Amino acid sequence: MKKILAATFTITLFACNNSKSAPEETAPPAEVKAMTPTEMHGYTPEYSASFVMDSAKNTETVLALWKEFQDGDLSKSSPHFADTVSFFMADGSAMTGPKDSLIKAMQGYRNSFKSVDSKVEAIFAVRSTDKDENFVAVWGVEFPIDSKGKKDTVSLQETWGFDKAGKVNLMFQASRKGMLPPPPPK
Q: Into how many domains does the chain fold?
A: 1
Q: Is residue 107 part of a domain?
A: yes
Q: Is residue 22 part of a domain?
A: no
Q: Is residue 21 part of a domain?
A: no
Q: Is residue 80 part of a domain?
A: yes
Supply the DSSP string of the chain, one letter for each residue.
-HHHHHHHHHHHHHHHHT---PPPP-PPPSSPPPB--S--TT---SS-S-EEE--THHHHHHHHHHHHHHHT-GGG-GGGEEEEEEEE-TTS-EEEEEHHHHHHHHHHHHTTEEEEEEEEEEEEEEEETTTTEEEEEEEEEEEEEETT--B--EEEEEEEEE-TTS-EEEEEEEEEES-SSPPPP-
Q: Is residue 36 part of a domain?
A: no
Region 135-150 average pLDDT: 96
Q: Is residue 125 part of a domain?
A: yes
Q: Is residue 15 part of a domain?
A: no
Q: How confident is the model at residue 45 (pLDDT cuts 50, 70, 90)?
A: confident
The CATH code of the domain that includes 138 is: 3.10.450.50
Q: How confident is the model at residue 44 (pLDDT cuts 50, 70, 90)?
A: confident
Residues spanned by the domain of 163: 51-177
Write the pLDDT tens digit of every residue in 154-168: 999 999 999 999 999
Q: Is residue 35 part of a domain?
A: no
Q: Looking at residue 185, what is its pLDDT?
A: 84
